[in-house]
Amino acid sequence: MKWVLKSSNLRQQVYELWDNEEKLIAFSYHVVHGTIRIVSDEPRVFLLRKEGFLKNRTVLLNEYGIKMATLIEETETQIGLIEIDQKKLKYSIHKGLLKEVFIYADDSEKPFITCDLPSTLSNYMAQLLVLCWYKQQPQKKVLLQSA
């Protein structure tokens, strides 16, 4: 899988998640307001908020203000923890020719999600949280509209 940056300006970024030749999901991230709009048959809106004493937690809230997921940055080396649906996942971002994220369940040594990130991406929290949210959904075919 890989995230593709479709468009970007100072106010909004549009991303698509691809698996081989199939577009799985698309979302637009409004940087100023911290909102994420999922583009699909059942459109969703999420909010991203920073929490904690050192603001090291990024929280994904649904359109009703209910916490859906939390991303905790453990170190500045882009390793951390994601809590979603009362499950704890670990993530690790590796920089090589491509920026790649590995997400591990429990204490597994084999990642259950591997995904390429856009190389220009500096703030990866929205992509990781949307990816984990998407993988937790019942896998039905999502018909996408253009973002």
Residues 55-66: tens digit of each pLDDT = 788 999 999 999
Q: Tell me the C-alpha distance between 6 and 65, whole Å.
A: 28
Whether the per-residue pLDDT at 46 is higher than 80: the answer is yes
Tens of pLDDT, residue by residue over 127-138, are 899 988 888 877
Residue of 80 and 54 predicted with greater confidence: 80
**SS3 label, residue 146:** coil
* Residue 45 within a domain: yes
* Residue 129 within a domain: yes
pLDDT average, residue stretch 89-100: 84
Task: Please count the structural domains in the chain.
Answer: 1
DSSP state of 115: E
Whether the per-residue pLDDT at 142 is higher than 60: the answer is no
* Residue 145 within a domain: no
* Residue 142 within a domain: no
Task: Say what the pTM is.
Answer: 0.82
Res 78: pLDDT: 77
* Residue 25 within a domain: yes
* Residue 53 within a domain: yes
pLDDT average, residue stretch 40-69: 87
* Residue 147 within a domain: no
- 3's tokens: 């995230």
Give the residue numbers spanning the domain of 59: 2-136
* Residue 65 within a domain: yes
